[in-house]
A and B are shown apart, each in its own frame.
Chain A
Amino acid sequence: GEDVEQSLFLSVREGDSSVINCTYTDSSSTYLYWYKQEPGAGLQLLTYIFSNMDMKQDQRLTVLLNKKDKHLSLRIADTQTGDSAIYFCAESIESSYKLIFGSGTRLLVRP
């Protein structure tokens, strides 16, 4: 079945870059997403990448996709304290639009 895995925790210093990694198993995924969740809140879509792309950049965010290894990463440049949150990667299952979420990575940005 489908499975999405992420490391649980990442701590970085303010101003440094953060890299959050994700692996998935379903090779038929059409889109891969990154969502941000702040405490007690819903999910905010940060960015997404189509499965035939290998990179997408959007301001401070860079998404890299290695389809061969089924590895996805999110790089946040110049990380700020306001970036502290839980980050979820998710894959969409072809034709159903269902999302399968990873366990989430808690990012802590130290001043």
Chain B
Amino acid sequence: GAVVSQHPSWVICKSGTSVKIECRSLDFQATTMFWYRQFPKQSLMLMATSNEGSKATYEQGVEKDKFLINHASLTLSTLTVTSAHPEDSSFYICSARAGDEQFFGPGTRLTVL
């Protein structure tokens, strides 16, 4: 089956630093990847849609200058949280579209001190 990986699986950083999270589709090519955010005991909220070779489309209320998305190839999308603050601490999950299905990565837990 289709496998999506994320790296790192968890990261702790100091306030004010930037953190990059990678999302890879391992055995298929994904023209579209999605980035979600999940707070504890809550649902997933779509942050942005990442299309290979073009700018990401951000959902309302998501700061594009804070959450930088790059979809450089058909198998890799990156999310960079710039100047992270404690309120950015969350579980970040990516998904990659294959036809009509979306396959999710295992998630990255970000803790900002």
CA separation between A25 and B49, bound complex, in Å? 22
How large, as a class, is the contact surface on chain B?
20 to 34
Provide the main secondary structure of the chain B interface.
strand
Chain A residues contacting B100 (CB-CB under 8 Å) are 30-31, 48, 92, 97
Which residue on A lies nearest to B106, using beta carbons?
A42
Which residue on B lies nearest to A99, using beta carbons?
B102
Chain B residues contacting A92 (CB-CB under 8 Å) are 100
Total number of residue pairs linking A and B with CB closer than 8 Å: 52
Provide the main secondary structure of the chain A interface.
strand
Which residue on A lies nearest to B4, using beta carbons?
A42
Chain B residues contacting A100 (CB-CB under 8 Å) are 46
Chain B residues contacting A103 (CB-CB under 8 Å) are 42-43
- Chain B 29-73 interface mask (CB, 8 Å, partner A; 1/0): 000101000000011111001000000000000000000000000
User: Does A45 sit at the interface, judged by CB under 8 A?
Assistant: yes
Could you list which residues of chain A lie within 8 angstroms of chain B, going by C-beta atoms? 30-31, 33, 35, 40-45, 48, 88, 92, 96-104
Query: Mind listing 23 A-B residue pairs with CB under 8 Å?
Result: A40-B107, A40-B109, A41-B107, A42-B93, A42-B106, A42-B107, A43-B44, A43-B104, A44-B104, A45-B103, A48-B100, A48-B101, A97-B49, A97-B100, A98-B34, A98-B49, A99-B44, A99-B46, A99-B95, A100-B46, A101-B45, A102-B43, A103-B42
